[in-house]
Amino acid sequence: MGNVTVQAEPEPLPIDAARTAIVMIDMQRDFLEPGGFGEALGNDVSRLNSAVGPCRALLETARRREMLIIHTREGHRPDMSDAPRAKVERGAPAMRIGAPGPMGRILIRGERGHDIIEALAPRKGEPVVDKPGKGAFYATDLHLILQNRGIETLIVCGVTTEVCVHTTVREANDRGFRCLVPEDCCASYFPEFHEVGLRMIKAQGGIFGWVTDSKRLLAALNST
């Protein structure tokens, strides 16, 4: 697939597309559509729609280049044995994790709300990692999948920027992966959190990783 250089901050990033994976974080109905957990927390879920188009364009290009694409979903077992009380009982949402909602039980595996939105649905052969926490490495086999494929660089997308995306980037950084975050392929219910979260990633010489956008990323991936 060849080496390409992505224009990014704090500096251009050379990547080997064959050793690079797209990690699409939690683009689930429970976070992006009305009636899910995001709305139950009092958020305007429409704010996340801005990331769908850029993510879809990136997936199309990555599939043409036969890059590894991994999707994640946050949620819990139907018996909720993997859901900590501190998480379930936190705050005062309209509906808690496990409660029945318009798309099934909130953040429960196997329910309609837990699944990925149709526009970004996984294709055959693309691993789907179910995670019980914010980070994609915690209590999952993501690290093993990446090691088995010889992956060195992660292009991390999804929602929300400051929570699951940021946590995953931090986890990956500690495990020796280089992380590239296309800013328009991520979104938050809070625009200021999105902006500051991206600034934190690329600060101090790229302390957690690099930040780019889908236009610059696609230009690089389509350059060979």
CA–CA gap between residue 151 and residue 15 (Å, rounded): 11
Catalytic residue among 55, 130, 157, 164: 164
Token pair for 119: 């526009």
Asked if residues 204 and 174 have their Cβ atoms less than 8 Å apart, the reply is no
Q: Tell me which residue of 139, 144, 177, 182 sits closest to 24, measured CA to CA.
A: 182
Strand 68-74 relative to strand 20-25, pairing: parallel
Angle between helices 191-206 and 166-174 (to 10 degrees): 20
Q: Which amino acid is at 179?
A: C
CA angle 128, 27, 161 (to 5 degrees): 115
Q: How far apart are CA 108 and CA 131, in angstroms?
A: 11
Among 68, 25, 70, smallest CA distance to 48 is for: 25
Q: Catalytic: which of 30, 115, 131, 157? A: 131
Told to judge if 215 belongs to the known catalytic residues of this protein, a careful annotator would answer no
131 has catalytic annotation = yes
Question: Is 104:111 a contact under the CB 8 Å cutoff?
Answer: yes
Is 79 known to be catalytic?
Answer: no
Token pair recorded at residue 1: 């697939």
| Nearest in space to 136 (alpha carbons), one of 115, 158, 116 | 158
User: Active-site positions?
Assistant: 26, 131, 164
